[in-house]
């Protein structure tokens, strides 16, 4: 029996080559080509049986419905639930809660749609059982199997015909036809292709859990992300209780949605009112604190920005510590504050933080960052029930941002009475919130900071 041919693949971009090269011809990265074996049987690579071409206009899509998982935040990101025959790839850092989320989703899904198969290559049956009981996800129709052979998992699926298949994780699986260790480029590629064919042929949705590298990218070939229908990532600080579920690819829905979860003793719980939860511990009248109205996907989200400005030690380099914000953007705002607002940031230590473990890179947060820094520098708190929305330019001007009406609506819903907005923007908002247009940072500080006694 033929073992197949030997080829080489780039770990970064997935480009293939018939022979090893020191530099990838596609992405120009050095020493990224890894050897793998291509199975000899071309028939094993068919996604579905041969069929005659069908005109698109004659397709009957009336039965193509979404299958809700029962977890509202997960369904939001998926676009309403799983699609029959779809393959979803979930990635995230170790310990972030990937296995917890898929186990809860499989248990909830089984209660509504039928038996679900949870195949783990990293835990024993007893370990999965203990975790499922702790998460209160030990349903009768949730079937568990500890298996690393992708062919054995395929046999279980064909025999049981479950409503959902979960593979945790694809890097722990191996195919007998590939002579390589589990987690290698060739094994991950082949196992992903096997599960993709199985899902398409049987019309069963499949979830693949994936590892990430130390750089934060998905481990294995980039081809895996191209093969699957949906790619999601679970993010957050392991020392914080909040987790964010983002979608970077979705063939059946939008990639603009975002799901927010809170990690508890019994697993991940959805946070439907994210703004209220994230601002629950904020105290009014504290210098160095401001509230911004961000847009994550299609959801308006209110976040607190905290800043601490202190005098740097004589002769030492001033420190810059930024958590939850883009470091380059934060440094830009500090330079604008020194040049345009007369604040000596070059001789001060500055610490910036977004509480809750969330990350924000939207330019609309610029004004809120500048207000928090100025508030801490002047020891003057931001006025009560006042929020900030706006992008800051290099000239110190406050520029317009998109979807201002939705941001103002969320602020009004959370009880804020004033919002500093760009003067050039269409600032039509709810009647119960006062819109304060500002042209530059000096105007914003004059309108938003309390005067010291």
Confidence of residue 48 (pLDDT cuts 50, 70, 90): very low
Mean pLDDT, range 371-377, rounded to an integer: 97
CA-wise closest residue to 413 among 435, 433, 384: 433
Over residues 107-115, mean pLDDT: 95
Strands (DSSP E) contained in 236-390 are 242-250, 258-264, 267-270, 289-296, 299-311, 320-323, 348-353, 386-388
Mean pLDDT, residues 347-352 taken together? 95
pLDDT band at 426 (very low <50, low <70, confident <90, very high): low
Q: Which of 239, 254, 272 is the last residue of a domain?
A: 272
Residue range(s) defining the domain that contains residue 88: 67-272
Indicate the helix (H) or strand (E) that contains 374: helix 366-378
266 and 314 part of one domain: no
For residues 103 and 231, state if they share a domain. yes
Would you give the distance in Å from CA 318 to the centre of its chain?
33
Residue 200 is part of a domain; what is its CATH number?
A: 3.40.50.300
**Contact call for residues 350 and 334 (beta carbons, < 8 A):** yes
With respect to residue 13, please indicate whether it lies within any of the assigned structural domains.
Answer: yes
DSSP code for 174: B
Establish if 49 belongs to a structural domain.
no
On the question of pLDDT at 428 being above 70, the answer is: no
Please check whether residue 267 lies inside any domain of the structure: yes
List the single range of 99-113, 156-170, 343-357, 424-438 with lowest mean pLDDT: 424-438
Question: Would you say residue 55 lies in a domain?
Answer: no
Domain count, the chain: 3
Range 391-407 burial, b when 16+ CB lie within 10 A, else e: bbbeebbbbbbeebeeb
pLDDT recorded at residue 9: 77
Over the stretch 295-335, which tens digit does the pLDDT of each residue have?
A: 987 789 999 999 999 988 777 789 999 999 999 999 999 99
Tokens of 404: 């201002």
Instruction: Kindly give the pairing relationship between strand 258-264 and strand 267-270.
Output: antiparallel
């Amino acid at each position: 029996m033929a073992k197949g041919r030997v080829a080489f693949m780039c770990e970064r971009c997935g480009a293939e080559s018939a022979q090893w090269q020191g530099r990838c011809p596609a992405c120009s990265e050095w020493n990224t080509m890894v050897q793998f074996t291509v199975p000899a049987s071309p028939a094993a690579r068919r996604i579905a049986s041969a069929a005659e071409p069908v005109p698109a206009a004659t397709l009957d899509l009336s039965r193509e419905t979404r299958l809700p998982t029962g977890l509202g935040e997960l369904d939001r990101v998926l676009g309403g639930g799983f699609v029959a025959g779809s393959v979803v790839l979930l990635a995230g850092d170790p310990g972030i809660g990937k296995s917890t989320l898929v186990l809860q989703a499989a248990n909830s899904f089984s209660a509504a749609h039928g038996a679900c198969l949870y195949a783990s290559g990293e835990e024993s049956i007893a370990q999965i059982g203990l975790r499922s009981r702790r998460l209160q996800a030990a349903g009768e129709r949730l079937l568990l199997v500890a298996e690393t052979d992708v062919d054995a998992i395929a046999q279980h699926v064909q025999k049981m015909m479950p409503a959902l298949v979960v593979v945790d994780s694809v890097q722990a699986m191996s195919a007998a036809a590939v002579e390589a260790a589990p987690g290698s480029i060739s094994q991950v590629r082949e196992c992903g292709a096997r599960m993709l064919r199985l899902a398409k042929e049987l019309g069963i949705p499949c979830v693949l859990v994936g590892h990430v590298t130390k750089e934060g990218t998905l481990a294995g070939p980039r081809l895996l992300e191209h093969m699957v229908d949906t790619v999601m990532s679970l993010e957050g600080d392991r020392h914080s209780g909040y987790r964010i579920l983002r979608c970077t690819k979705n063939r059946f829905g939008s990639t603009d949605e975002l799901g927010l979860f809170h990690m508890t003793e019994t697993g991940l719980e959805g946070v439907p009112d994210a703004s209220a939860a994230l601002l629950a511990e904020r105290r009014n009248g504290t210098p160095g604190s401001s509230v911004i109205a961000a847009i994550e996907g299609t959801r308006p989200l209110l976040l607190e920005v905290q800043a601490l400005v202190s005098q740097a030690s004589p002769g030492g380099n001033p420190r810059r510590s930024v958590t939850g914000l883009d470091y380059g953007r934060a440094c830009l705002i500090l330079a604008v504050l020194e040049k345009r607002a007369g604040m000596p940031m070059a001789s001060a230590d500055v610490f910036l933080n977004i509480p809750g473990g969330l990350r924000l890179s939207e330019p609309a947060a610029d004004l809120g960052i500048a207000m928090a820094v100025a508030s801490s520098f002047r020891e003057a708190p931001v006025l009560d029930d006042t929020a900030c929305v706006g992008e800051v330019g290099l000239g110190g001007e406050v520029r317009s941002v998109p979807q201002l009406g939705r941001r103002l609506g969320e602020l009004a819903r959370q009880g804020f009475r004033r919002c500093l907005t760009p003067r050039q923007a269409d600032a039509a908002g709810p009647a119960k919130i006062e819109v304060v247009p500002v042209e530059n940072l000096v105007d914003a500080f004059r309108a938003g900071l309390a005067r010291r006694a």
